[in-house]
Structures are given as C-alpha cells and as structure tokens.
Structure 1
Amino acid sequence: MHARQTRAFRVARLAAAPKRTPETDRSLGILLAGIAGSLNVGGFLLLSQYTSHMTGHLSNIAGSLVFTNLMMLLDSLAAIGGFVTGAAVSAAMIAWGQTRSARLCYALPLGVQGALLAALPLMTALPDRAEHRMAIVIVCFVMGLQNATITRISGARIRTSHATGLITDMGIEIGRSLYHAAKPRAEVPYDGGKLWLYVQLVAAFIVGGVLGAIGHGMIGWAFAMPPGLMLITLAVWSPRHRTAFRGGKAVA
C-alpha cells in the first residue's frame, strides 16, 4: 500500500512536467476531466448553458439567426469566441515554452487555467448582466484552454472538456474487443488500455459533474476555487522536478 501511495505521489508531482509518460498523461487527464465535469455542470446551474458544448452553441447561432434572437446569438458567439481563444492561447504558450523554457511549456497553461478558476468568484461583484456575459467568456476560455492543453500534452489521445469524442472512442474499442472475442483469428486490433483510459475519463467527468452540481449549487462560483488552487500548485510544483524513465514509468 505504501509503495502504491508513493508511486501515485510521484506521478502527481510530475503531472505538468515537460517530459511525459502514459501514466502522467492519464493522471492529468483524469484530474482535468473531473474539473471539466464540475465546471460544465456549474455553468449549467449558474448560466443555464453547458459551457463546453460548442456544437450546441453553433446550433444556437443558426437558430437565433432564423428567429432573430439577439441575446442567444451574442451568448453563443461569446462562448465560441472564448473557447477558440482559450485553445489558441494554450497552443501559443506551449509553443513559447517549448522554444524558450521547456520546463514551463505545460505548466503555463495549467497555471493560467487555475488562476482563472480561482478568480471566478470575483465576478459576483459585477452587475447581473455583465456577470453573465463575462462568466460565459471566461468559463468557455478555460474549457478551450484545458482541452487544447491536454490534447497537446497527450498527442491528441486525450480530450477532457466534452465527452462526445470520449464516448465515441469508447464505443469503437468496445466494438473491436467484442469482434476480437468472437473471432480471435481475424486479428482485428483492439487496445484494452485505451478502453480503460476512456472509461476512467468518462467516470471522472461524471463524478466531477456530481460534485459540481452539489458544490456550485451550494456556494456558486466559489466552488471553482479549490480546483483552481490545485492546478496552480501543479503548475508551480511539477516543473521543479526532473523525470526519469524506468520501464516506461515515471520516476522522480
């Protein structure tokens, strides 16, 4: 038990380190999926919309143009603009970090995400309409920033801010595994490790959503502070440690 705890501690310590292993990618992905689930449910409770659902916002734009609903149009444009800007900022920060200071390349976007989450409660000081619009932009910016960061870190194997792709990939691996079980001689490739990863990410999103529904429902945006401070800690802590590799696993 102690060895398992020590190993988990090492992986957590290297979550934002510049050198990656599948284990550190998995751990960071699960953490971010939980945060995304919490923030997405919080956005629905406090803003009446899912803040990572860009497909829905594109549909809202089309509908608002037909039915001339200006407020819906502005909200959806703000959401998509925030998400795209967050993804672009993440890519720019990672590129800057890789070319100038590799030890910070992944810590920078995680730290910015954490700072924005921790600062979300400050929006309650704004007038209601300004708070609503600003919250949409900031939360969607965080979602885009997070999704682009984990996509770059994992080589596009992991996405966390929305589950449609995860569930699709899960279904693909389930289908392959079932076909392999029925016809093992057909040599249809499947990856049980990928399937387990997708199951963990979806489960983390759901658990995060449950906690977000409870926490955001009770104390509003203040519930975003603990995960924000957690990400800031990882961003400051992880790059300070070097990663060694033994048997494909991270060792500090």
Structure 2
Amino acid sequence: MQRRDFLKVVGGVGVVAVAPSLIEGRLYAEDGTLYTSYKKVQLTDAEGKPLLASQLDKEVNYVFNYPYAGTSCMLIALPHPTEKNVKLTSEDGVQYIWKGGVGKERNIVAFSSICPHQLTHINKSDTFISYLKTGGKTMGCTKSMPCHDKGEVIVCGSHLSVYDPKKGAKVLGGPAPQPLASIVLEHHNDDTLWAVGVLGADKFHEFFRAFKPELKEQYGGKRKAKKLVKDKAQTVTLAEFTKDIIRY
C-alpha cells in the first residue's frame, strides 16, 4: 500500500512517521503539520464498484463527496507527476507539508472544492470552480503568470482565484487567502483509492453556515449534509455531477 508519511511529535522528544489512516482526530503539532483524520472511505465508480487508479482518464475532473455527505471534492489524474514535499501556509500562518500525488505516476490528487475566498464550490446546480486542462485559457492567468496559455490549474470563476494542483493547490493568483484543503489519499496495492483525511485549513464550518437553503434542496437539510461519509464515496465526472459548468 502506498501511503503518505506524516511527522508526529512524541512526548516532545522525537518524531515518528505514521500513516494518515492511523491518526485519530486532529494533528496540530509543533512541526507545523495541519491534518485532520476522518473515516477511511473507498472511492467507487457510479455503479458502486471499487474505483481503480488506472481507470482514471487524465485531466478529467472527477467529483466525490468527503468527509461530509454535503462537501464535494475534486479528483484529478494530472498529466505529469506532482512536486513533492511542498511547503504551504494556511490563512492564519500555519505551515504544513503537502507530500505529493499518489498512484504509480504520483499524479493523482484530490482537493476540497470549497474556495477559501468566498466559499464557491462544486454543487449539483452550477459550478464555477474546476480543473482547467492542458492548453486551456482562463482570465485568471495573466501573461506574467506561469499558467498563461498553459492550463493545468484549478480556477474559481467567481473571483478568478487560481490554484496549482501540482503543488498542493498553492495559490497562483487571485484573492484566495490560502490553498484549497487537500483530501489525503491512499493508493493500495490492488489499485484502489481511499480518502482518509484532510490536510490544510478547511472551510467546512463556514460552508455549512452559509448554504443552508442549498443544502436543504440538494441534500435534504443541513443535518443530512453534515453526516460523515462512511465506507464508500461514489465518484463521477464533473459533467455527470453538475448541471452547468461555468468557466472564465
């Protein structure tokens, strides 16, 4: 099984490497690691069968809900391996390390779709935030930015925040105050994919407060939307999940 390694302070003396799925609760240690464990959930296809990493089409925006029934996430098999051990900083100044993608090519990544600027997110009616594939153009990338005429970025069309998925959704431009929260994945020897936790500062609580009418319409209410996902998370393409994909 391919796992992400984290550092955990033990008794204030030393550190040990632990797998994310073995961590319980919140890890907010002296080494700057910002990680919250949730239920270990297997990603499945639309028919409920285990989703295999080798089945993912590159640069297709897939969607699954995690860690809550009403919080959508994006899953992407990037065209190239990601960078490793990227240092990121949350809005309140906490630093953490994003270890990189998983899979044989280390190119599979997952992020919460909730934009930390004003909580734009992937929903079932219309979606302003999504991955822009190679060669795609966006108003969010100016000529002075490395993503100009290149694509391979996540763009929030609401206010043109741009994130680099190869670097843990690091902010490249726009008003976003911090990276998208990363969904930590495990890739097993049988090629299955599992979500095990969230790395970085999330916006889940603000999201639930802000979108009560939407949660009632799409998930039957805030209480149902806040239920933790258990065992399995169905994964579909963005085009299958949402009615209208809006890009700028």
* Bin for the TM-score computed over the shorter chain: under 0.3
Q: TM-score, normalised by structure 2?
A: 0.24
Larger Rg: 1
Pick the structure with more strand per residue: 2
Q: TM-score, normalised by structure 1?
A: 0.24
